[in-house]
Structure 1
Amino acid sequence: MPPNDFTYDDVGATLDRPGFCPQGFRPLHVRTRVGEGHDLFRRAAEAVMTWEMHRALGVGVAATADRAAPDVDVTITLAGLIKAPCRVIWTAEEPRRAGWAYGTLSGHPECGEESFLVDRTGDGTVWLTVTAFSRAAKWYARAGGPATRGLQQAYARRCGAVLRQLTAGQEA
């Protein structure tokens, strides 16, 4: 993965340094309970890994592969207008956790990294955690100020709500 394609320096930090936020960036951490059980975990993991959760959010998804994998390029289109090009940096597909992170590419309204990770804790509870660090890259993202940050928080919370809907009836 050519690091010079990314619009920030700390590529991979959402995996390598959990909780890390570079100076000048804003952190984001939203954890949502999705449900319980192995079947629900498998269904949630599949929805995250195949872009299904993102599509169910109502955003456009154009990816170079049907499944998240390192070096897959993906462009998210918001409101039919705003294009957000990214590249998958890392993926995890393990018995109790699955997900991926993308880094922003040139043209994205923000600059930074965001991860979507489903995990199943020891008591069987399934969670979606959205973690990111970002800063505005386009004038309209800067002009939005606190409203832009509020939209990012709302988007992360909506990911959890949508994933819960997609997995309804899967608890076992």
Structure 2
Amino acid sequence: MKLSDIADLPLTYSDVGATASTLPAGYHHVQKSAVIGRGRQRFEEAAAAGMRWGMLRGAGVKVRATTALAAVGSEVIVHLGPVQAPCRVVYVVEEPDRGGFAYGTLPGHPESGEELFLVRYDPATEDVFAEVTAFSRHATWWSRLASPFTSLVQRVVTTRYLKAL
């Protein structure tokens, strides 16, 4: 699969942007966070790395993207072993104390849904958090068949995302 093959594909779900608020019913939900450091400088560094696909790459996931930095409309193919998962960035968070992006699934992805990769700074405690929020459901026969395994992989990879930055 090439990046040019996915440029015109539609997203595979209708709840676009829902990782920014209430997660939609009918999906498996993931909301995890971890403290990854302290201080404004740590936040700035982690947020910048995150926008360069850092949570993914730092977790050992191969990433091919149309842009070096995540931007709305960027296409990305995530490789986890032999599985290729095409996605498109649907929104970016650029706030004084929050930075990151969310991408949604495209046809060919084994799941259907959205995932948010966020770095957050808490000025009160100076803690810096890595956060992952997602909703998904199986989109292929083989991901449904391998449901116990794919759920385990999602939990393991999500934990690795939180440690990646």
Which residue identity does 2:125 align to in structure 1? D
**What are the residue-to-residue correspondences of 1:126-145 with 2, within 5 Å?**
126-145=128-147
- The answer to whether the aligner puts 1:7 opposite 2:6 as a matched pair is no
Which residue identity does 1:86 align to in structure 2? C
Contact 1:32 1:129 in 2 (8 A): yes
Per-residue Cα deviation, 1:22-59 (whole angstroms, up to 9, x for no partner) = 32x10011111111101110111011101133222221
Q: Secondary structure at the match of 2:146?
A: helix
User: In structure 2, how many angstroms separate the alpha carbons of the residues matched to 1:10 and 1:149?
Assistant: 21
User: In structure 2, how many angstroms separate the alpha carbons of the residues matched to 1:5 and 1:56?
Assistant: 28
**Deviating 4+ runs (over 6 angstroms):** none
After TM superposition, the score normalised by the length of structure 2 is 0.90
Aligned residues: 158
Identity %: 42
1:167 aligns to what? Answer: none
Which residue identity does 1:145 align to in structure 2? S
Give the gaps of 5 or more residues in structure 1.
Answer: 164-172
Contact 1:30 1:153 in 2 (8 A): no
2:3 aligns to what? Answer: none
Compute the RMSD of aligned alpha carbons.
Answer: 1.7
Deviation at residue 147 of structure 1 after TM alignment: 2.5
After TM superposition, the score normalised by the length of structure 1 is 0.86
Which residue identity does 2:72 align to in structure 1? P
Contact 2:15 2:24 in 1 (8 A): no
Q: Choose the corresponding residue for 2:24, options 21, 26, 29.
A: 21
Which residue identity does 1:141 align to in structure 2? S
User: In structure 2, how many angstroms separate the alpha carbons of the residues matched to 1:32 and 1:123?
Assistant: 14
1:91 aligns to what? Answer: 92
Deviation at residue 62 of structure 1 after TM alignment: 0.8
Which residue identity does 1:14 align to in structure 2? T
User: In structure 2, how many angstroms separate the alpha carbons of the residues matched to 1:42 and 1:7?
Assistant: 33
Which residue identity does 1:124 align to in structure 2? E
Q: Choose the corresponding residue for 2:149, options 136, 147, 150.
A: 147
Give the gaps of 5 or more residues in structure 2.
Answer: 1-8
Deviation at residue 148 of structure 1 after TM alignment: 1.5
